[in-house]
Amino acid sequence: MTVRNISLVAILISLFSLQSCVTQYATTTNASSAISLETQYKSDANSLALQKRIEIEKQILISSLTNESNQTSHEAGAIYKTAGKELTSAMAYSADADGLLNEASTFLGTPYRYGGMSRSGIDCSAFVLSVYKNAKGINLPRTAAMQSGEGVSVDKSDLKKGDLLFFSQNGGRISHVAMVQEVTSDGEVKFIHSASSKGVSYSSLNNSYWKPKFRFARRILTPENLALAKTTITENRYITQ
């Protein structure tokens, strides 16, 4: 083989090698591009799925917050409605009690008389039944012992204006009744009654004479009694003025 032929062969080998390298590079480049595109596609798909999941979670959160807000509004409305009823009831009770006490005050100074039922002389139970009848149209029994079974029981710590207080000597039969006139901020219970020593006057459960004789209290100004009184009340007063 001549030198010229050897040179041609070398050139052909170089060209073949160069082509092979180019082909390998192109193949490698195309494969890398394909892998890159596949990875990008998967990344984009994952991103879309994540966005969709976030949107779903957001809608769930918004719905939950809306439901909680509606429930809170409903509960607040119920509380407000209940508080409004309680306030209205308390105001109505206070007005009824004030009516009783205004009537009771007109008897101040009336002398005590056992069995008496007029402004010239009146005993404790007649005083109470007269006030309730005249002011609210509520009928009570004649004696303190019988009146002690009317209305509902009320604890001393929950006394209000107009409640009745019952007393007895040495724990015996109920023999005296009085009406709560005021409960002070420090818990002192003041009442109005017809006492044998002073006639119709004010006193206190802190009084050394009355405190040990107090037995229990009853509330006459109940919704049931007031409703019944409204259906039977007349313009005739129990005691002739």
Q: Chain centroid to CA 13: how far? A: 100
Would residue 193 show up in a list of annotated catalytic residues for this protein? yes
List the structure tokens of 91: 């105001």
Neighbours of 141 (CB within 10 A): 14
Single out the catalytic residue among 133, 136, 161, 176: 176
What three-state secondary structure class fits 169? Answer: coil
Closest CA to 147 of 157, 139, 155: 139
Catalytic residue among 136, 161, 193, 218: 193
Length of the chain: 241
Cα separation of 116 and 241, whole Å?
15
21 part of the active site: no
Residue linked to tokens 């006030």:
131
Instruction: Please count the other Cβ atoms lying within 10 Å of the Cβ belonging to residue 181.
Output: 20
Distance, in Å, from the CA atom of 190 to the CA atom of 183, rounded to the nearest integer, reads: 6
Q: Annotated catalytic residue: which of 100, 104, 122, 124? A: 124
* Catalytic residue numbers, as ranges: 124, 176, 193
